[in-house]
Amino acid sequence: MPYSRMPVVKLHLTAAAASLHAEACETGGKLPANVKRIAHFVDDALREADREATTDVRGQPPEDWATP
């Protein structure tokens, strides 16, 4: 089974969600619109990360993509 970075990705997303929650608590829930959008993106990303991946929907990388 190949190594998956998803646990690390989920950890970082969870940390971002916790930080955004703390920001909301400190401001009484009055966040700027862009911060609210970011919070929704993080929530969506966490939900998507918890779904079982059946196929790779990203497609091929661009031709100018640098490979290590």
The 3-class secondary structure across the chain, one letter per residue, is CCCCCHHHHHHHHHHHHHHHHHHHHHCCCCCCHHHHHHHHHHHHHHHHHHCCCCCCCCCCCCCCCCCC
10/13 Cα distance (integer angstroms): 5
Contact 10, 46 (CB under 8 A): yes
- Is residue 23 within 8 A of residue 66, CB to CB? The reply is no
Which pLDDT does position 57 carry in this prediction? 66
In this predicted structure, what is the pLDDT of residue 3? 74
pLDDT in tens, the chain (68 residues): 467 888 999 999 999 999 999 999 999 989 999 999 999 999 999 998 888 766 666 777 778 877 66
What global pTM score does this model have? 0.68
